């Protein structure tokens, strides 16, 4: 059997013919298997959805109860037979509930990793390496210039700035699902124990993380707090709000942005960011290439970002490789390309 007989890239996403399902479909399908809750991977309107409990809950929070015809929760390490295929979920280390999906039949195993990172994150289960024949990898940061570095060192920069400027507020732009909660957890890990403030758009998801036992310390809404009382504080907000009227309620704000793209100075300038924080929920170039090699796969399928360099790297390292060219996956690390915050006109 060829891998393409098991999983086939189609305009609606990767399709498993023998199993009768699509993975992270970009348009409504009968049966969807979903890697994680980001809106470009987890869309409303499918017939049946199979995903982790956290991903199903996050979809419900975003889209309401009727987001799918029916749902089924699956745990990490659990396998389910779908038609002629066996499907197993493994942690992807990307955001709470994120999973890689291993699809098997007749001794052939393809792993669709969704989005992933191979570094520690206090808010989700660590990435699990799954040996396979074909590894489907994202390529959001699929260029050698992208090395994310140590997130704790970025948080130390933030806390140094907070200590230096007690009369100013610090506004940290961060994607609402995953990044914001990870930044809060990293700030706590660094020993900061004062309340951390939130933009209202992040409240539901952040409270959900807390309800799943993720310790984020004391979290309060910035809404309704007097301007003077926000001096010396840290507030997390969707990146687009940094430039909006909303930010004027803060005393002389220091604008920060937590994203892998902050490695690129032009991006930081474009966002008018005073303090860029290079913190990403995606693997960097080293992480992507090390992971592809470690899976032992003889074939890599590359999607979702800068496919060419990673395809080239794979081929020069003895793998067969191809770009998948599926349209419809966004870039939540950019912060502007999101459905849940305003400013769609600035999507890049
Ligand atoms: Zn994602
Ligand atoms: Zn993605």
- The band of 272, judged by pLDDT with boundaries at 50, 70 and 90, is confident
Asked if the model's pLDDT at residue 233 lies above 60, the reply is yes
> Tell me, what's the pLDDT at 345?
26
pLDDT in tens, 34-88: 999 999 999 999 999 999 999 999 999 999 999 999 999 999 999 999 999 999 9
CA of 225 to the centre of ligand 1 (A): 32
Least distant ligand from the CA of 281? 1
Least distant ligand from the CA of 139? 2
Least distant ligand from the CA of 58? 1
> Tell me, what's the pLDDT at 305?
87
CA of 138 to the centre of ligand 2 (A): 8
pLDDT in tens, 191-208: 999 999 999 999 999 999
pLDDT in tens, 274-300: 999 999 999 999 999 999 999 999 999
Asked if the model's pLDDT at residue 326 lies above 90, the reply is no
- The band of 342, judged by pLDDT with boundaries at 50, 70 and 90, is very low
pLDDT in tens, 3-29: 999 999 998 999 999 999 999 999 999
- HEC letters along the chain: CCHHHHCEEECCEEEECCCCEEECCCCCCCEEECCCCCCCCCCCCEEEEEECHHHHHHHHHHHCCCCEEEEEECCCCCEEEECCEEEEEEECCCCCCCEEEEEEECCEEEEECCCCCCCCCCCCCCCCCCCCCEEEEEECCCCCCCCCCCHHHHHHHHHHHHHHCCCCCEEEECCCCCHHHHHHHHHHHCCCCCCEEECHHHHHHHHHHHHCCCCCCCEEECCCCCHHHHCCCEEEECHHHHHCHHHHHCCCCEEEEECHHHHCHHHHHHCCCCEEECCCCCCCHHHHHHHHHHHCCCEEEEEEECHHHHHHHHHHCCCEEEECCCCCCCCHHHCCCCCCCCCHHHCC
CA of 65 to the centre of ligand 2 (A): 23
CA of 179 to the centre of ligand 1 (A): 10
CA of 233 to the centre of ligand 2 (A): 31
The answer to whether the predicted template modeling score (pTM) of the entire model surpasses 0.85 is yes
CA of 228 to the centre of ligand 1 (A): 36
CA of 99 to the centre of ligand 1 (A): 10
Least distant ligand from the CA of 99? 1
> Tell me, what's the pLDDT at 348?
24
Asked if the model's pLDDT at residue 175 lies above 60, the reply is yes
> Tell me, what's the pLDDT at 344?
28
Average pLDDT of every residue of the chain? 93
Q: Average pLDDT of 269-278?
A: 92
> Tell me, what's the pLDDT at 347?
26
Least distant ligand from the CA of 37? 1
Least distant ligand from the CA of 40? 2
CA of 81 to the centre of ligand 2 (A): 26
> Tell me, what's the pLDDT at 210?
98
CA of 265 to the centre of ligand 1 (A): 23
Asked if the model's pLDDT at residue 211 lies above 70, the reply is yes
pLDDT in tens, 149-170: 999 999 999 999 999 999 999 9
């Amino acid at each position: 059997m060829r891998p393409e007989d098991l999983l086939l890239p189609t305009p609606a996403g990767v399709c498993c013919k023998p199993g009768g399902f699509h993975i992270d479909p970009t348009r409504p399908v009968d049966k969807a298997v979903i890697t994680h809750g980001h809106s470009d991977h987890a869309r409303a309107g499918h017939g049946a959805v199979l995903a982790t409990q956290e991903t199903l809950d996050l979809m419900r929070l975003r889209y309401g109860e009727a987001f799918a015809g029916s749902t089924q929760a699956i745990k990490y390490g659990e396998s389910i037979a779908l038609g002629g295929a066996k499907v197993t979920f493994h942690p992807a280390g990307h955001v709470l509930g994120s999973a890689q999906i291993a699809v098997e039949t007749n001794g052939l195993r393809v792993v669709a990793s969704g989005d992933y990172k191979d570094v520690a994150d206090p808010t989700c289960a660590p990435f699990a390496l799954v040996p396979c024949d074909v590894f489907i990898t994202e390529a959001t940061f699929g260029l050698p210039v992208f090395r994310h570095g140590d997130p704790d060192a970025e948080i130390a920069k933030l806390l140094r700035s907070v200590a230096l400027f007690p009369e100013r507020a610090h506004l940290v732009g961060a994607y609402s699902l995953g990044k914001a909660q990870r930044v809060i957890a990293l700030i706590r890990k660094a020993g900061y124990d004062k309340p951390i403030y939130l933009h209202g758009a992040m409240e539901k998801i952040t409270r959900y993380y807390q309800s799943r036992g993720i310790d984020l310390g004391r979290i309060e809404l910035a809404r309704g707090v007097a301007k003077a009382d926000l001096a010396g504080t840290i507030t997390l907000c969707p990146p687009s709000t940094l430039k909006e009227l909303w930010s004027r309620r803060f005393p002389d704000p220091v604008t920060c942005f937590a994203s892998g793209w902050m490695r690129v100075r032009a991006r930081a300038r474009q966002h008018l960011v005073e303090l860029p924080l290079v913190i990403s929920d995606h693997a960097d170039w080293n992480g992507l290439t090390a992971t592809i090699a470690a899976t032992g796969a003889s074939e890599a399928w590359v999607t979702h970002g800068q496919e060419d360099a990673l395809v080239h790297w794979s081929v020069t390292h003895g793998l067969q490789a191809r770009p998948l060219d599926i349209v419809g996956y966004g870039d939540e690390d950019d912060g502007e390309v999101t459905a849940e915050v305003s400013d769609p006109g600035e999507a890049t």
